[in-house]
Chain A
Amino acid sequence: DGGITQSPKYLFRKEGQNVTLSCEQNLNHDAMYWYRQDPGQGLRLIYYSQIVNDFQKGDIAEGYSVSREKKESFPLTVTSAQKNPTAFYLCASSDGLANKETQYFGPGTRLLVL
């Protein structure tokens, strides 16, 4: 059964702590994305990767970091520099580099600050 998995479903961060959100896909998609969703707002792009070992900043990359060492994995680290990390984080993937490609989304991770 192909799809995108995100873990954990809920994540709690303490002050000054870095946390990592997992995103795995078995769709054999080249491109992967991380979005942040806040209440009453649309999705905002944090980082995206078009191919293994390459990634680009999105619109709100400050305080976040990513890696793309494997095609199927695109973990997101929320660093202590991100002062307002409480949000719903969504990972997505798409097949190919053409801009018409549909993005498929994982179930999301909700990050809360203790």
Chain B
Amino acid sequence: AQSVTQLGSHVSVSEGALVLLRCNYSSSVPPYLFWYVQYPNQGLQLLLKYTSAATLVKGINGFEAEFKKSETSFHLTKPSAHMSDAAEYFCAVSDLKSSASKIIFGSGTRLSIRP
């Protein structure tokens, strides 16, 4: 069965520093992977998705993620953090065993930005 593990429930970085949010997945077949962002008391917004094309995926707001099959990872990065990046981030994988578009979410990582 597919699963997602996000390492670190809370990450804090200084403004202007590199952002690295870690995600490892488990899947018996090539997965489809997603990163979503959630601002307080709001719904989830898609940042980027991997669908077996290029392994380096660029998303909105300057974020990108690299699919590494050998490491079963899909870490999210941004070269320079901005105060507006403070939010909760969810990594997710498609449930390929399901006939529906079911997605399995990680438990989330809260990103804080220090001035």
Contact = CB atoms under 8 A, between A and B. Distances in A.
Chain B contact residues (Cβ within 8 angstroms of A): what range? 20 to 34
A79 B112 CA distance: 37
A45 B43 contact: no
Interface string A68-105: 00000000000000000000101010101111111111
A104 B41 CA distance: 16
Contact of A106 (B43, B49, B94, B107): B43
Contact of B41 (A48, A94, A110): A110
A96 B94 CA distance: 14
B90 A99 contact: no
A45 B41 contact: no
Interface residues of A, number: 30
B56 interface: no
B9 interface: yes
Interface of A: 4, 6, 31, 40-43, 45, 48, 50, 56, 58, 88, 90, 92, 94, 96-108, 110
26 contacts: A31-B100, A40-B107, A40-B108, A41-B107, A42-B90, A42-B107, A43-B44, A45-B102, A48-B100, A48-B102, A50-B99, A56-B100, A58-B102, A92-B44, A99-B94, A99-B101, A99-B102, A100-B94, A100-B101, A103-B101, A103-B103, A105-B43, A105-B45, A107-B42, A107-B43, A108-B41
